[in-house]
Amino acid sequence: MTVLEQPGSYRPTPPPAWRPRTDPAPLLPDAEPYRVLGTEAADGLDAGLLLRLYGHLVRGRRYNVQATALTRQGRLAVYPSSTGQEACEVAAALALREQDWLFPSYRDTLAAVARGLDPVQALTLLRGDWHTGYDPHEHRIAPLCTPLATQLPHAVGLAHAARLKGDDVVALAMVGDGGTSEGDFHEALNFAAVWRAPVVFFVQNNGFAISVPLAKQTAAPSLAHKAVGYGMPGRLVDGNDAAAVHEVLTDAVRRAREGGGPTLVEAVTYRMEAHTNADDATRYRSDAEVETWRGHDPLALLEQELTARKLLDEAGMAAEREAAERMAADLRERMNQDPVLDPMDLFTHVYAEQTTQLREQAGLLRAELDAAAEAAPDSPEGKQR
């Protein structure tokens, strides 16, 4: 006999105790991505903020171009460009206060740089020189995360711990549309909502998880709609509208800081370049599609707004481009210097106390290095010794 066959087990309606814990209506995102630039809402924008966003976008575009060139020169092992997504990257960094934490994915080096990280340190991991390349505690930037979405539960844990301690800290976790198909994404949202953790989940929907389009990942109306299933607000924003992304993220961060709990923000944007330098994007998307999105370039959209309002002229644009070129030249010069690396650093900062296995592996590597140094005293190992 099954449960449904037992006497009195079937009820035509749910018991009186069943009620929605939360009214879903206020949690649902807008039907269309929120926009500011080119609308009446743009009239009330702060001119100083717009110019600051613009400067970061100009330098961010040049940073992406320079980093991509470094991969072709063999100075970087890999680089996932965020060209076309710079508005998301910059807005994420500028929406946070100094004490807040940023949890980036592997594509979010520009967000880390916009938050103040040295561009060379941001690229050190991608060159293969170091575990991370910077001190996460010093910069309030978690390590760039290559495994999809694993940084999201970490962000929730940090935010929850900060709340328990009474610290004024908000965590902003960035993830791509592909990452929303991972279990870590769902676990993080569920924990965050139940704990009302001060965290913002920021999904950059750039159309593809490498070569897989969004339509093959989810049947949801939008990724922002997933928020309602966890009891948090979902926001849908035009990811190429720097002012709109900044406004939505700033509002979500404020809400989290004031105890309102987490928010899921989906920014609809587009990855103009290939997934990485190892990817051939022509195999899964057309040149015509890319060109259509070039007409919605985040840098051009903001430039048009600023020039139309007479806040930016040719001299101002030239000054920002020159600053970007100086940044690129400095990055190029320092990345072209061969770093002095110690192979034993592989075992540094892995655990507070090395495990037995790590000590054994370190001993084996040390023996190999010593043997190489004895065999060739003029080798790098011998000189280092």
Residues 176 and 142: their CA atoms lie apart, in Å, by: 16
Coil/strand/helix, residue 200? strand
CB contact at 8 A, 229 and 273: no
Is 294 a catalytic site residue?
A: no
Is 349 a catalytic site residue?
A: no
Residues 6+ apart with CB under 8 A from 138: none
Is 275 a catalytic site residue?
A: yes
Residues 345 and 341: their CA atoms lie apart, in Å, by: 8
Residues 6+ apart with CB under 8 A from 124: 130, 132, 133, 134
Residues 6+ apart with CB under 8 A from 221: none
Cα dist. 88→176, 240, 306, 379 in Å? 11, 7, 18, 46
Q: Which residue is catalytic, options 140, 235, 255, 275? A: 275
Q: What is the DSSP letter of 143?
A: P
Quickly count: other Cβ atoms within 10 Å of residue 272's Cβ: 19
Per-residue tokens: 353: 């106390």
Provide the H-helix boundaries in the chain. 47-72, 86-94, 109-114, 119-127, 136-139, 151-165, 183-195, 242-257, 287-294, 298-308, 314-335, 356-375, 380-384
CB contact at 8 A, 262 and 196: yes
CB contact at 8 A, 29 and 224: yes
Cα Rg of the chain (Å, integer): 24
Q: Which residue is catalytic, options 72, 97, 131, 284? A: 284
Catalytic residues: 271, 275, 284
